[in-house]
Structure 1
Amino acid sequence: TLFLQNGLWLRNITTLYISGEESEQQIKMRADRLNLKNENFYLLTETSTQTIFQEIKKLKPGLVIVDSIQTLQTPYIDSSPGSVSQIRECAAEFQRFAKETNTPVFLIGHITKDGTIAGPKILEHMVDTVLQFEGDRHYAYRILRTLKNRFGSTSELGIYEMTDEGMRGVANPSEILITQKEDQLSGIAIAATIEGLRPLLIEVQALVTQSVYGTPQRTVSGFDLRRLQLLLAVLEKRGGFHFGVKDVFLNIAGGLKIEDPSTDLAVLCALLSSYEDAPLPQHICFAGEVGLSGEIRAVNRIEQRIAEAEKLGFEKIIVSKYNHKGLAKQKFSIEIVTMGRVEELYKYLF
């Protein structure tokens, strides 16, 4: 849908959309729903690369979209579509065409259940850019990540919302990812993270309950389980909290997967809030990494995180005191609280 939408938007470029999966009627139904018209958008339902290149020679498009590379078949290889050799040869043919004619080609590929591209790994090496479109069917928004990019940074991130009129870019994703709640609830903390070049404020939800079974459960969604166990060990050793007899559940709201270590501080505060069953003050957020000795470590690009928190109306942000150097506090109207140890943080919040 995203490629169809973009293809229909590009009115000044002759676009050829090659579909090996859907019929013309199915694609027309989607295009009608998007309510976009484009005289320069051409559709070809074909799986043989020989026929495709004959049509390309006649049309001379400025952009080619292939949906999907796993359905194409080249006559030079005697095997079924979707096999390793077929995918490799079809991709090589399109790569040669793109380099010789200087025409951009987008190859849409299937992914496996664990999120990797189906087919040979060489497919990723052959192309210039690998973009991954991920999202949960239970959520309205999708994330476009860059896994490989020969033309620029791989740290870029795009967030889209699925509406009945197609995909819509989300300019301020932090507002979606933070629940608008009336009551103050325990176990919720806001983390100021960076995804790619974009600062994001996300909600961390924790639930700590008495363990009923012999072995306490540790369940996470969107966060690294080993990182959670590490933070629980720090709280047990440095703070004297008995998490060893508790079940711990942790969720990153909105179905996101976060790897930024600066979420440590928010995770730790959400765990303590649920453990004490005491809500954290509203309009406060966190940005800091937690070390094994219980110290709060500095994180990079702190000014961007603070600016994003200020923009969304937060009144306080807790950061590491080691981020203090070079930080122009007078630039911001938000109160910046600096801490050095986990123990200090506990006394300050509870």
Structure 2
Amino acid sequence: MAKAKTQYVCQNCGYTSPTNFGRCPNCGAWNQMVEEVVAPVNTKATPSRRQDGNSHAPQLLNEVNMQPEPRVKTDLEELNRVLGGGIVPGSLILIGGDPGIGKSTLLLQVSGQLQKTGEKVLYISGEESASQIKLRASRLNVKGDKLYLYPETNMATIRETIAELDPKYIIIDSVQTMNEPELSSVVGSVSQIREITAELMKIAKNEQRTIFVVGHVTKDGAIAGPKVLEHMVDTVLYFEGDTHHSYRILRSVKNRFGSTNEIGIFEMRTDGLQEVANPSEIFLEERLAGATGSAVVVSMEGTRPILVEIQALLAPSMFGNAKRTSTGIDHNKVALIMAVLEKRANLMLQNQDAYLKATGGVKLNEPAIDLATALAIASSYKDKEIAPDDCFIGEIGLTGEIRRVNRIDQRLSEAAKLGFRRAFIPKNNLSGVKIPQGLTVIGLTTIGEAIQKVFKGAKKLS
């Protein structure tokens, strides 16, 4: 009989080594190397790797029979949007998020809606008992005779239960609590998560069962476990938000069946998550009239245009190095825009502390927010108000030019719908654009021209 070997596995990145290191040579994380016993190779197939008899021969592309199955719609249109139009049968969907953000609440609501289709739903929980889940279901008013609760962590028992019960939809809450008894490593380790995810993927594809998997996140915001976890699944969703506020953002970062960077907006209430049909109004409803350092951008999140207020506050620096702080906007983007303003628009910003924020808890990471960010900074620096019915769309280059952006028609339609009167856009976007009724569109070439036109006639408030 072969002798078992010992190896050390980094719990952060999955790097393996025959010797222990205090610091992982691959990712640099400290105290993440955990000892694991490598079982000798067994030539006899284990249950998780046993062939199911459905062997496949190579086929020509033209000979493959494709029978697309219709997507399954839930009652949450925001979730359908993020998934690309609904749930694809036989897909493996990973949902990550901070503790207490509402992952289990969302999946319990979805379970109650899916069982209304007449198909069985199996909710497997490794963190709560059946009575605890029932208590939450009562609060969310989730009922049904096709929803089964199963508090279990042993994958061997779970496989047998799935084969016996034959559910169409499966929820795993969470993958870090599941245990593969064939492995000697501890629960939640890299090898455990990798093996369990591979087994769930096999169940989803071979048996055409849709599986939702909850994943814990690390302190850096990444899903805990090996990166291969995100590569193996079909869809990766992040549930974002502040536990001190009621709004939640469900963001798609990977989707084999739809567009990425789609977002859905929800509001957490006592009776569960409720959809927010018009998030732009939410992000702008508390905007203060007459304030300086405020500009509205029409940003595209996936296929949805949303209007977000960007706020900037500049104050003289008390020390040698000016401070740059941003929330919801990339720090490097802020530094780049301020450098362009200083070089191309003659704004002396090197002795100014700058604090920027995208309101509503949303994270903006597209080029079209550059113009609004720059004008919010200029507004705070000049202490001049931007007209409350102005909005801005455009990317700024290093030479100060305003560059064209995509989907300009959708952005302008959303701005007109919310009552904005003027939209400042790149001049190259004017050709062929459909201007909505009641909206004046102004083309810009450089950041200097933008500052001149926006603040023309504006009063200094100080």
Q: TM-score, normalised by structure 1?
A: 0.96
Say whether 1:15 aligns with 2:132. Answer: no
Say whether 1:272 aligns with 2:378. Answer: yes
Say whether 1:104 aligns with 2:210. Answer: yes
| 2:158 alignment partner in structure 1 | 52
User: 1:152 offset after TM fit, Å?
Assistant: 2.2
Aligned length: 349
User: 1:156 offset after TM fit, Å?
Assistant: 2.1
**Aligned AA (2:210):** P
Say whether 1:335 aligns with 2:440. Answer: yes
Provide the C-alpha distance between the structure 1 equivalents of 2:245 and 2:367, rounded to a whole number of angstroms: 25
RMSD of equivalent CA atoms = 1.3
Residues 294 and 342 of structure 1 are in contact (CA less than 8 Å); yes or no, is this contact kept in structure 2? yes
| 1:5 alignment partner in structure 2 | 109
Residues 323 and 354 of structure 2 are in contact (CA less than 8 Å); yes or no, is this contact kept in structure 1? yes
Secondary structure, in 3 states, of the residue corresponding to 1:206?
strand
| 2:267 alignment partner in structure 1 | 161
| 1:260 alignment partner in structure 2 | 366
Provide the C-alpha distance between the structure 2 equivalents of 1:182 and 1:255, rounded to a whole number of angstroms: 17
Say whether 1:180 aligns with 2:286. Answer: yes
Secondary structure, in 3 states, of the residue corresponding to 1:243?
coil
| 2:178 alignment partner in structure 1 | 72
Provide the C-alpha distance between the structure 2 equivalents of 1:347 and 1:121, rounded to a whole number of angstroms: 48
Provide the C-alpha distance between the structure 2 equivalents of 1:151 and 1:347, rounded to a whole number of angstroms: 45
Say whether 1:206 aligns with 2:312. Answer: yes
Uncovered stretches (5+) of structure 2, i.e. residues with no partner? 1-104, 456-462
Percentage identity across aligned positions? 48
| 2:449 alignment partner in structure 1 | 344
Secondary structure, in 3 states, of the residue corresponding to 1:310?
helix
**Aligned AA (1:171):** A
User: 1:182 offset after TM fit, Å?
Assistant: 5.4
Task: List per-residue Cα deviations over 1:310-346 (Å, max 9, x = no partner).
Answer: 01111111111111111133x4331111111222222
Provide the C-alpha distance between the structure 1 equivalents of 2:398 and 2:203, rounded to a whole number of angstroms: 53
**Aligned AA (2:439):** I
**Aligned AA (1:301):** R
User: 1:179 offset after TM fit, Å?
Assistant: 3.6
Provide the C-alpha distance between the structure 1 equivalents of 2:337 and 2:259, rounded to a whole number of angstroms: 31
Residues 5 and 34 of structure 1 are in contact (CA less than 8 Å); yes or no, is this contact kept in structure 2? yes
Provide the C-alpha distance between the structure 1 equivalents of 2:221 and 2:234, rounded to a whole number of angstroms: 20
Residues 176 and 215 of structure 2 are in contact (CA less than 8 Å); yes or no, is this contact kept in structure 1? yes
**Aligned AA (1:209):** A
User: 1:349 offset after TM fit, Å?
Assistant: 2.1
Say whether 1:93 aligns with 2:185. Answer: no
Alignment of 1:118-129 (within 5 A): 118-129=224-235
User: 1:26 offset after TM fit, Å?
Assistant: 1.8
Uncovered stretches (5+) of structure 1, i.e. residues with no partner? none
Provide the C-alpha distance between the structure 2 equivalents of 1:309 and 1:132, rounded to a whole number of angstroms: 27
Between Structure 1 and Structure 2, whose CA radius of gyration is higher?
Answer: 2
Q: TM-score, normalised by structure 2?
A: 0.74
Provide the C-alpha distance between the structure 1 equivalents of 2:444 and 2:318, rounded to a whole number of angstroms: 36
Provide the C-alpha distance between the structure 2 equivalents of 1:129 and 1:349, rounded to a whole number of angstroms: 42
One of 258, 268, 289 as aligned partner of 1:152: 258
Provide the C-alpha distance between the structure 2 equivalents of 1:281 and 1:83, rounded to a whole number of angstroms: 55
Moved more, 205-214 or 91-100: 91-100
Say whether 1:310 aligns with 2:419. Answer: no
More helix by share: 1
Residues 139 and 254 of structure 1 are in contact (CA less than 8 Å); yes or no, is this contact kept in structure 2? no
